[in-house]
Structures are given as C-alpha cells and as structure tokens.
Amino acid sequence: MKRPSLPGALPLLITLAIAGTAALGQTKVTQHMMLYEPTGTDLNVAETLIIEGSGKVQIVLPADAEIKGTRGGEVKKSGKPGIWDVTVKAEGPETRVDVNWTMPFITPEDISGRILHGGGPVRMVFPKGVKVTGAALESNGTEPTTMASIFTLKGATYKISLDGAGTLRAERPAAAAEPEAEGPTIQQILPRFYDRLNWVLGLTFAILAAGFILNYRAQPKG
C-alpha cells in the first residue's frame, strides 16, 4: 500500500490537531444551582456552577445586580449589558464556581432571566416561607432538613414571581442565653456567604444526588 506523501497528509494532520485542541479546551456546565433569599427589601442570590474543562461560560444577571463575592473562577463583565464572563482553569475533572450577588427587591415582585451556557440542569432553590410561581419551573419537592423548595428550570428563559421572605443562614443562639460581659466585646463578622456556606454545600450535594437518581430512572430498562 502506497503511503501518502507529506503534502497530502499535512492537511489531515492539521485537522486532527485542531480537533484535539478544541476537545481539550471544551468547557461544559454540568450543574447550575441558584439559591434565592428575598429579605423583603432586597434579594440575595447564590449561584453555583459545576464546570468541566477550562475556558469561559457566560451568565446573565439583572442590570441592578451587585456582585458581593466569587470563588473558584474569574467573573467579570463582558462587552454586552447584563452578561458576565465566568472563566475557569481546571485543576481536576470539575471546577465549582460560586457567584454571590444582591439587588433591590420588594416582594411580591417578578424576576426574569435567561441561561446562556446550554449545559446541564438548572435548579432553583427557595427557603421556607418564600412562595414562588412560574410556568418555567418544575417542582422537585422540598429538601427534608431545611424544607427549602427545589425546582428544575424548563427551557433557557424564565419569569418567576416571588412572595415572602426567607433565608437558609443558620441562626445564632439568642443573646439572652449568653452571660453578659463587662466592658466592650470583640465580634468576628464574616461575609454573608460564609453564614450559609454549609447550607449551600449540603443543598448542592443533595441536588447532585437527586439529579443522578432522576437520570438513572430515566434510562430504558433491559
């Protein structure tokens, strides 16, 4: 069998090299969770994305949203209004990115948005005491420990109505139960995100487990 000459084989080698580079640089969102905590005067949102690979994905935030903190990747405004770039450098099979933002929000009120990454399921979580309605939401029940409501977003756009107030932050013990100290005291005040970090972690793993079970049940038998 005659071997191809170098000029004839070169385009094929270039094509394979480009395809391999594209595969290595592919970025995919496998899970996306959005925890909404309306207080009555504003709305605090903690978004968690589980991302495969290195590269950039995009999220959409309301025009008056203010980012309070990020972790796991670089988050900055893109050249388009309301669109933010999330850039990650993978150090393992998956990278977790947390984006915490807030906006003025007086309940009852509507909030709308869209999903750009086209990746895995997008789930929205609402604390006990918050009533939510929206045609794009599919209920997944409540989380047994916190009684938070969990929904899966159907489609890439949504408009939901929120009423009430609630939070997943752990409550501190009542001050009356603590002995009074003479003189001034020093208190350590952590950012809001750390107050609810354990809840967010627990909900994330619970949602991942629920997604695995749903996918397993959806597989054809036999």
CATH class entry, domain 27-169+191-218: mainly beta
25 has a pLDDT exceeding 70: no
β-partners of residue 161 are: 110, 133
- 82-94 pLDDT tens trace: 999 999 998 889 9
Percent of the chain at pLDDT > 90 equals: 60
Q: Whole-model pTM?
A: 0.69
Q: Is 100:45 a contact under the CB 8 Å cutoff?
A: yes
Give the domain ranges of the chain: 27-169+191-218
Give me the DSSP letters along 7-52. Answer: HHHHHHHHHHHHHHHHHHT--EEEEEEEEEEE-SSEEEEEEEEEEE
Contact 46, 67 (CB under 8 A): no
